[in-house]
Amino acid sequence: MGSPLRIGVVGVGKISEQYFAEFPKLPGLKLVAVADLDASRAAAVAAEQGVPALTVDELIASPDVDAVLNLTIPAAHAEVALRALAAGKHVYGEKPLALNPDEATPVLRLAVERGLRVGSAPDTVLGTGVQTARALLDDGRIGTPVAASAFWTAPGHELWHPAPQFYYSEGGGPLFDMGPYSLSALVTLLGPVVRVSGSVGRSGRERTVATGPLEGTSLRVEIDTHVSALLEHASGVTSTVMMSFDVWAARLPRIEIYGTLGTIAVPDPNRFSDATELYTSDDRRWREVEPEAGYADAGRGYGLADMARAIETDRPHRASAELAFHVLEIMDAILRAAHDRSVMELTSTVERPAIVPEGALPSRW
């Protein structure tokens, strides 16, 4: 067993709480420092975690940091990743990988040049929910897949987030914020996408912050708030996707995969371990399936731990930059297709990540 991968966290906003909660379960990772543009917030989190609070420059330059966990806002993802790679650090970041493929390309190129790893959320696809669905597919339990659907809807993050403006700015919106969960799951399950079409809209509803010190503050809506898309996978499967900040309530399923012999109901791809359901032509009823693959009781950070283990064993990691780049290009192409009223061909591709075996552990136990 090698030494733990020493992690420095840049950006200690809301999402960082979920990573910090998982670190004690992942001995292959060792938190060694935190940094944030808000020095007082960094100091408070550092005291809670028992590590030093550094400036961003200090953390990136620190010889005690092996990998930077980049939890900044989307507009800073590429910049922080490039700085960390240039300093010889591996990088794992929150989604999306960057604001667009052109911004992400130098990140992938520099990682290859430096022989470093880049990983990206979402790692929810590594939990027992999506991975069990993958096992059912690979075992032929619904025959040959022919189509899929993926839906995510909400009235808007301003109802719960204390500082939600970035959700309504470039790099936000329902597609870039929540789309990576569904799209990463669809690619993990059904393989890469070759072409897309899309339709978008933006409601005129006034949006104001509902909680916290900014309560009542009006938000500028600079992105499309309702997105529909049709994806064609290289396998020939067609996926129908809808992501929205304009729906107050819905009973649509999260993800379903339709095959010649049945249907798989994939649980919420923003969660790790909800139950997968199966309906087959011979049984003609829905039933929950016991976990057959995936990291059990997983949480945010398992993708980083999977990357740490992959570095040690010299194998590909699952929540990879290549997967994140392909998902980013899918999202970018959906929006361009919608605005141009065209069908967009994708230029990138990616292999389906290796399935996570049942009972696997992502770190050096």
Q: Give yes or no for residue 218 having a pLDDT over 70.
A: yes
Distance CA 81, CA 30 (A): 19
The enclosing domain of 258 has a CATH number of 3.30.360.10
Q: Which domain holds residue 19?
A: 5-120
Find the mean pLDDT for residues 149-159.
Answer: 96
The enclosing domain of 50 has a CATH number of 3.40.50.720
Provide the pLDDT confidence category of residue 252 given band limits of 50, 70 and 90: confident
pLDDT in tens, 293-327: 999 999 999 999 999 999 999 999 999 999 999 99
Q: Tell which of 120, 141, 164 closes a domain.
A: 120
Q: Give yes or no for residue 113 having a pLDDT over 60.
A: yes
Q: Tell which of 57, 89, 120 closes a domain.
A: 120
Instruction: Judge whether 164 and 322 are in contact, CB under 8 Å.
Output: no
- Verify that 141 and 205 share a domain, yes or no: yes
Distance CA 121, CA 92 (A): 8
pLDDT at 363: 67
Distance CA 59, CA 209 (A): 32
pLDDT in tens, 261-292: 999 999 999 999 999 999 999 999 999 999 99
**How crowded is the C-beta side of 254, counted as CA atoms within 13 Å?**
22
Residue 310 lies in a domain: no
Instruction: Please choose, from the candidates 258, 279, 284, 254, the residue with its C-alpha nearest in 3D space to the C-alpha of residue 266.
Output: 254
Distance CA 225, CA 168 (A): 8
pLDDT at 364: 53
- pTM for this model (two decimals): 0.95
pLDDT at 273: 94
Label residues 5-37 b or e (16+ Cβ within 10 Å = b): bbbbbbbbbeebeebbebbebbebbbbbbbbbe
Helices (H), the chain: 16-22, 39-49, 56-61, 77-86, 101-114, 128-138, 173-190, 302-313, 321-340
- Verify that 36 and 111 share a domain, yes or no: yes
DSSP string computed for 55-90:
-HHHHHH-TT-SEEEE-S-GGGHHHHHHHHHHTT-E
pLDDT in tens, 30-87: 999 999 999 999 999 999 999 999 999 999 999 999 999 999 999 999 999 999 999 9
Q: Give yes or no for residue 173 having a pLDDT over 60.
A: yes
pLDDT at 1: 53
Q: Give yes or no for residue 365 having a pLDDT over 50.
A: no
Classified as helix, coil or strand, 286 is: strand
pLDDT at 145: 98
Residue 267 lies in a domain: yes
pLDDT at 187: 98
